[in-house]
Amino acid sequence: MAAEQHYDTIVVGAGIAGLAFASRLLQANHTANAANRLRVLEARDRIGGRIASVHVRNCRLDTGANWIHGTGNAENPNPLMGIAPHKRSREMRGSVLFQAPSREHYLKGRNIGSTGECLAGDLPDPASHAACPATAVEDAKSAGGLSIPANLARLIVSSHQNALDTVQDLAATISAKDAKEMSALRALVDSIAFQSSFELVPREYHHELGALFQGMENMEAAPLVAETAEPGRPESEPGLGLLEFAVDSFDGEQAFLQDGYGAVVDELAKPIVEAGALSLETVVTRVDWTANPIVIETSQGNFTAREVVCTLPLGVLKDTRKDAMFTPELPPDKQDAIERLGFGTLDKVFAVYSRPWWNDELYSSALKNGLIEMHGQDKNEMPDSFLGFTSELSGISIGHDGSVSPDVYRLPVLNLHTLTDQPVLCAFVSCRSATTVEGMKDEDVGALFHRTLTRWFGTEPPRPDAVHVTRWAQDPYSRGAYSHMITGLSDASHKEALQVPLINEAGGVLRFAGEHCSRDHFAMVHGALLDGWRAADASLRDFQGL
């Protein structure tokens, strides 16, 4: 590209926030020459950002976002429900809980004392832990596998959920100042519901109950303790903060998008594509916001604009000082916000089969025995999810006294056959375990998952035809999954600081948008959508359109 290309507004990133911003501007201003005034630059060869899918053995695997978190109600609907309204979605129905490997099995051969404390003062090395050979069926003493009978499983899961609910209740009632200084872990173990959960659940299942609480990490992509924080993210070591839950979220069910988010992405992008305002495979390497116009250096040459909207994920922004992306450096309030907000990883492990073998009687008997059905669900229906544990990844459990010990890893698995009619199982890993799995070969991860399933069902199932592992932490254009609040570090002021545009002396404007800028809807697709619209509305007010 020999000469600089100039636009009124340039959007960096074609994820949901960038698409929402650009489409809002185009829809507000039906300008014939929009392609010459607005440009969206995207590093990847596709749009969607952390919404993505791949096809493996004719199965569509949604590697990024899958859920609408709170569909809303008539008075306050989630805006995603009005975009591509014919998309299929439904609430999750039914789950099965499997027994955990014994503590003795977990501790055997590791540098851990008999009471569960790490003698070296840390968790076992994740790489060596993951490589440990599995004793696949040593605990499965019957052909029925290790599923916990439904009545007991329901008690364990509901007691666990009631304790988690009290964390959200506390976050809604105490001051923001106090919530900032309190960890989610401390809020949990100090609650009456947490203590009651161990009193309600039979002692022989306390191990499963204690290990279930690590699920908070999986939901929030954030560590509870320093030992489960991702390498290279020391800012998150104080653990997930209670402010994570002090938000004004949408009511309604948590809906799984059965056909993925592709239709939503395409609908948002339609006016941008029609205007010819999208440039793919254009990697931004530097933004010089010294003057007006602002200069954007890219792999496809230089661009200039009076206004630049940066929708790069927080994981990328965290490395911009090291990468010298912004000239001059961002001011202290912006840099402080970027450093103090947390950003974590959630990965998926897909096992693709030629058929849904878990529906066969040999395996389905274990699932039917432990099915925790939803209201109105037929007991013969297969569950949407399996919940169990593996000793091949480093996890933690929380004891009745609130102590945290290294333990088995809580491994949730989606039954995509009931949700998408595809013969696929999808496991989720987060935080330190996610980076451990990212460092393994797909076939080794698949073998680990196969051994885990063998143990759960008490007999060896068919091996997968293919395994696909997402690696969001290694993706240079995301460097993780989504943001979180860190105990003692993060608060709402950091998100608000990112919402304030930078205006240089010549009038050039640099804005930020994305889920990490959203006060109440961070870490959500609708948070990115709403924040893209927020930034677009601010731009329209400032410039009165294109």
pLDDT at 251: 92
Q: Which residues, 6 or more positions from 403, have their beta carbon under 8 angstroms from its beta carbon?
A: none
In terms of DSSP bridges, do strands 509-512 and 502-503 run parallel, antiparallel, or are they unpaired? antiparallel
- In this predicted structure, the answer to whether residue 111 has a pLDDT above a threshold of 70 is no
Distance CA 483, CA 521 (A): 10
- In this predicted structure, the answer to whether residue 119 has a pLDDT above a threshold of 60 is no
- In this predicted structure, the answer to whether residue 541 has a pLDDT above a threshold of 60 is yes
> With bands split at pLDDT 50, 70 and 90, how would you rate the model's confidence at 379?
confident
Q: Which of 120-129, 179-188, 234-243, 447-456 has the lowest mean pLDDT?
A: 120-129
Yes or no: say if 487 and 511 are a contact pair by the CB < 8 Å rule: no
Average pLDDT, the chain: 91
Q: What is the pLDDT of residues 380-435, one digit of tens each?
A: 789 999 999 999 999 999 999 999 999 999 999 999 999 999 999 999 999 999 99
Mean pLDDT value across residues 496-511: 97
Cα 380–chain centre separation? 31
pLDDT at 131: 39
Q: What is the pLDDT of residues 126-165, one digit of tens each?
A: 444 443 344 444 444 445 689 999 999 999 999 999 999 9
Going by C-alpha positions, the residue among 86, 1, 502 that lies closest to residue 266 is 86
- In sequence order, what E strands does 250-368 have? 254-257, 278-279, 284-288, 294-298, 301-310, 326-327, 342-344, 346-352
Q: What is the pLDDT of residues 169-186, one digit of tens each?
A: 999 999 999 999 999 999
The listed CATH number (3.50.50.60, 3.10.290.10, 3.40.50.1000, 3.20.20.150) that belongs to domain 5-51+260-341+490-545: 3.50.50.60
Task: For 110-123, give the DSSP string.
Answer: SSB-TTS-BTTSSP
pLDDT at 96: 96
Residue 351 β-bridge partners = 425, 467
Q: What is the pTM of this model?
A: 0.93
> With bands split at pLDDT 50, 70 and 90, how would you rate the model's confidence at 113?
very low
Q: Which residues, 6 or more positions from 211, have their beta carbon under 8 angstroms from its beta carbon?
A: 100, 389, 395, 396, 397, 407, 408, 410
Mean pLDDT value across residues 114-119: 35
